Structure 1
Amino acid sequence: MATSNDSCSYPFSFILLGIPGLEHLHVWISIPFCSMFLFAIYGNYTVLLIIFKDVTLHQPMYIYFTVLAFVDLVLANSTVPKLLCIFWFQLSEIAFHTCLLQMFFVHAFSTIESGIFLAMAYDRYVAICNPLRYSVIVTTSVIVKSGLLAMLRGMVYILPLPILAERFHQYSSNVIFHSYCEHMAVVRLACADVSFNDHLGMVIGFLVLVMDSVLIFCSYVMILRALLRLSVEARMKAFGTCVSHVCAILCFYTPILSSSLVHRFGRDIPHHTHILLANSYLLVPPMLNPLVYGIRTKQIRERVVRFFS
């Protein structure tokens, strides 16, 4: 396929450039990327293994940990292996439909993870604001339904993106100036008006990033009000149960919010900075979530120590 803007043709494959502008540093950049990837795989797999093997951990909060670990494994594996192939072996070509599949997995599971954090915020709200009825309100059925709802929402929100991208049969270039098949990085190459795709992406981003953040913030405002009515000892104990969740939320929303702001408003910021930020919200949360929950959750920490000893 031609790579000139003067001609348009059907893309049988795309070329991912990795991190444009830093090609001479790809081998060195691969070291922290590979380290974070291996830590994410090892940490999340350990969390899954510990919770599956220990029946005493088959409780509402740990079920959420299991779903979160699974989502993080999918996110890490959806982009990093291909990125490392680009860094190490210059295998930058990706088939057209494989690219659309990667686009779906990246955006859908990021949306699903946001939904899981929202469900966990509700879980913490009930546990602290209505503790006597926690076992009645937060049942296994409720957790399964909330997890399925988060997955269904992620798929419904994101499925139109690759479908709309596929309807563009003519592309001006097959070279994607990105390290993975990010939605707008792909459709901007189309020889057509992509304003609808751009607006749809903004709407989805608002519904996921802004609405979920606002709802989580509101739940913690109510949690804080409930904590102020407790004794000092009970307050510290209840606060300790929320620290892990707050840390995980910050690990997830801070990189994705930074990437979104830089993408929309940072016109003068180097392009490779955009790419590094875009990769950070796919790697940092999967790497840090097992560490956050493993350190802050006594039951998991004890099981991990017992498992390896």
Structure 2
Amino acid sequence: MNLISSNITLTFTVYGPPGPLSYMLATLLFLIYLFSICANMFLALVIYLESSLHKPMYVFLFNLAVNGVIGSSSVCPKIMVHLFSGVQESSYYGCLIQVFFVNFYGISAYVILAVMAYDRYVSICKPLLYHAIMTPAKVKQLLLVTYSFPIFSLSAQVYLTSRLPLCRHTITKLFCDNLAIVNLSCVKSNLDNIFGIFIVLSLAVLPLICVVISYIQILKVSWKTSRDAQQKALSTCTPHLAVFINFSLATLFSVIYNRASMYISSEVNIFMSLHFILIPPVLHPVIYGIRTKEIRRCIM
């Protein structure tokens, strides 16, 4: 990114002037954000301190909790500053950093959920081979792929976006995203669009396919087992499936928000934009804390 671009200031136009309503929204956002941080860090701490939870499924859950902290922290503090102070601007460099971490949160969460689905598939469909397949080395390899591929691909995307010349400097959203910056450009970048489609297909669609295939196999195997085995499989899969459906809905809202934010009311706009960042990190530790027997036992 050149020096001229780094000095550009972007203005958010969806915020109103400071007042009682903005202060109330900022306070509510702060409380939700605080609960999200505490819940995810508490869950991560329980998994870290309790040796009986040092298993592949809980290692992945630990990473999902940390990812939730990254996601909510990449957006919420900045929005609260805008609401409290009335300063509704961001540097171009800061906006690109926010784009990277918001996308990293979303993509990494999807990949982690896909890896967790694979872990459940091996546990239920190949129980005798589980410890031979899900070795500590295998878990580390899966986590390496989970983080390295999004980091490199998103770094490339942000770099391509940073090379685009800007003709406008106003964003009609609550926070920065890649499409919003691309729409400010004076030129249309086919390379940026193609690379964005590649990221979506490889880091969102493929994990979705992996989860669907894993659960199809789990259903096939569970259908042939006893009722007790079916209930055990259901109890271990229900939290993951609930989290996956919740995050998929949040992602769908985010896609609609990115593509149609200019054509929907401001109230719906705010809900869709915050749902993706706030709701999954709040619900995920609650769902796993309530539905997972081992975690409940360790918490008690």
Give the alignment's TM-score, normalised by structure 2.
0.90
Q: Mapping of 1:1-309 within 5 angstroms? A: 10=5, 12-17=7-12, 19-20=14-15, 25-168=21-164, 170-261=165-256, 263-264=258-259, 268-270=263-265, 273-305=268-300
Quick check: 68-77 or 22-31, which moved more? 22-31
Q: CA deviation at 1:262?
A: 5.1
* AA aligned opposite 1:179: L
* Structure 1 segments unaligned to the other structure (5+ residues): 1-8
Report SS of the residue matched to 1:159: helix
Alpha-carbon distance in structure 2 between the residues aligned to 1:102 and 1:32: 22
% identity of equivalent residues: 28
Counterpart Cα distance in 1 of 2:147 and 2:128: 29
Q: CA deviation at 1:16?
A: 4.4
Alpha-carbon spacing, 1:290–1:133, altered in 2? closer, same or farther (3 Å): same
Aligned-partner residue type, residue 66 of structure 2? F
Deviations 1:84-107 (A, max 9, x none): 101111232222212211111111
The offset of 1:274, in angstroms, is 3.8
Provide Cα deviations, 1:187-234, integer angstroms capped at 9, x if missing partner: 211222234323432332233332221221111011001110110111
Counterpart of 1:6 in structure 2 is none
| Pairwise CA distance, 1:150 | 0.8
Letter in 1 for 2:152: V
1:97/1:300 CA distance change after superposition, 3 Å: same
Shift in alpha-carbon separation, 1:298–1:16, aligned structure 2, 3 A: farther
TM-score if structure 1 supplies the norm length?
0.88
Gaps of 5+ in 2: none
Q: Look up the equivalent residue of 2:295 and give its one-letter code.
A: I
Question: Which sits farther off after the overlay, 282-291 or 18-27?
Answer: 18-27
Distance 1:20 1:200, change over 3 A: farther
1:153 Cα deviation (Å)? 1.5
* Counterpart secondary structure, 2:187: coil
RMSD, matched Cα: 2.2
Local SS of the residue matching 1:133? helix
- Distance in 2 between the 1:275 and 1:199 partners? 28
